[in-house]
Structure 1
């Protein structure tokens, strides 16, 4: 069972990411822009991680060398800030379906980048799983070939969201060679917060944070689909290849679709069910080693 724990951590973190709409929709209805919600997310996450560090991870809050901050510029700015900017821009220009599909080109980016930078092998199973996850995301979001809003620029920006999403796994793997999952997660959101605050000017809406609803939503957004999710994902990443982790994490859109149907009454038809099957099938396939499942006949079976 222990050998499946890293995959379970990653899947659990991704499932919590899929719950983010519960918080984002409410904050959007109150009057926050997309990038302001991103800023709320990273700032509240950094706050919770700081408190956690003070009580339980004081040693892990220290960097052995300050120039290692470059890893967290990678995970915090080049990944968290960059992919959110590209994601929301594509959503506004080309629609939610196109934005989600282009975001989930991330496993393909991770597989290629892991080959060049992490020296991970690309085998037939990984390639099939990557194509299956992309197909699954296309089916889930109900991709229509007749979409006329997709321009060359918005397409490239959408691919940028997939690249930015993938970079967390790549930079995270390098950072984990020197630091714990807590350290990586804390400095990721600390750096992202420092980068976002001047651009979003959240202090101009400080009066909204005086209400109980906004405060609760903000803290919930920072804790559940952010701090807990990233700690689980990063913990699983410690013992999992980057390309496999990215494929497992595509369970996120499945959870998001279930919440969309159950909570927001969104449509979920045959194509969406097939998409969920494709994604879950690839998650299972990439983690099952057939050779290890075989039991030699001369050794018998032991409990």
Structure 2
């Protein structure tokens, strides 16, 4: 195994670790009423857009083909708007464990979509994995429960599953864009479009945030 592959695997593990922590922290923030789901998304996407456009000043500049702006816009719909709004609203209603398990279906959906859109081959072993993955997610969605009486696990699980489908479509759609443009070029436009699309949903939630109630719950933050 070469050094670049090892670094890639370490980076992928770090991303998944941080992504996993998001389930628990975001659920806690929303459960305590600090920030509602859509307001959370507006802050997340807006902060990321600002960060990437600042970093843009120190990265190579690329010219975007006019037709590709439409692709960035569509990618933002599936990768940020539908994906994040449904995920965080679903997470508010279900549990972090349920949400994380359902998100396992994303690679499965990507596999299916790639076979049609990118003509990737599906083997028997992959088909078996798809069956097991969807079966587990379906059982959890239907029969999952939460100790929190305010949760609506079934609805929350369905919304997280819609998020998984949207994210999978996004992964397939961006293949050509990520091959064509530098990652920072792609990300800065993706989040810029995404911010203006999620802001109408999150603005009302943001106006209700009481900053005086915010505090650092976790000692290591």
Report the TM-score, using the length of structure 1 for normalisation: 0.56
State the match for 2:149 in structure 1. Answer: none
Q: Which residue in the other structure is 1:172 paired with?
A: 174
| 1:199-238 equivalent positions in 2, closer than 5 A | 199-201=201-203, 204-205=207-208, 208=211
Question: Is 1:46 aligned to residue 49 of structure 2?
Answer: yes
**Equivalent in the alignment of 2:192:** 190
Q: CA deviation at 1:43?
A: 0.6
1:100 deviation in Å? Answer: 3.7
Residues 74-111 of structure 1, C-alpha deviation per residue, up to 9 Å, x if partnerless? 33222222022222344455655544443332111100
Aligned to 2:39: 36
Cα-to-partner distance string for 1:102-121 (whole Å, 9 max, x where unaligned):
33321111001111111212
Deviations 1:143-171 (A, max 9, x none): 497447666x7665443121012123112
Structure 1 residue runs without a partner (length 5+):
218-262, 264-303
Higher alpha-carbon Rg = 1
Q: Distance in 2 between matches of 1:156 and 1:27?
A: 21
- Cα distance in 2, alignment partners of residues 96 and 14 from structure 1: 14
1:11 aligns with 2:13: yes
- Alpha-carbon contact 2:23-2:100 (below 8 Å) kept: no
TM-score (norm 2): 0.73
Aligned position for 1:112: 112
Write out per-residue CA displacement over residues 7-53 of structure 1, whole angstroms, 9 at most, x where no aligned residue.
44333322222222465256433621011111111111111111111
Query: 1:223 matched to which residue of 2?
Result: none
Aligned partners of 2:12, 2:96: CA distance in 1, in Å? 25
Q: Deviations over 1:163-222 (max 9, x none)?
A: 0121231122121131111122222211111111122116625773xx7x67x99xxxxx
Q: Provide the rounded CA distance (Å) in 1 between the counterparts of 2:51 and 2:16.
A: 19
Post-superposition Cα deviations, 1:271-291, rounded to whole Å, max 9, x if no partner, equal xxxxxxxxxxxxxxxxxxxxx
Structure 2: unaligned runs, 5 residues or longer: 146-151
Cα 1:102–1:44 shift into 2, 3 Å: same
- Counterpart CA distance in 2 for 1:192 and 1:180 is 18
How many residues align? The count is 207
The answer to whether the aligner puts 1:71 opposite 2:71 as a matched pair is yes
Q: 2:141 and 2:173 mapped to 1: Cα distance?
A: 34
Q: What RMSD, in angstroms, separates the aligned Cα atoms of the two structures?
A: 3.7
Cα contact 2:42–2:203 (8 A) shared by 1: no
Determine helix, strand or coil for the equivalent of 1:32: coil
For 2:13 and 2:81, locate their aligned partners in 1 and report how far apart those are by CA, in whole Å: 23
The verdict on how the C-alpha distance between 1:47 and 1:70 changes in structure 2, with shifts beyond 3 A counting, is same
Deviates more, 1:186-195 or 1:28-37: 28-37
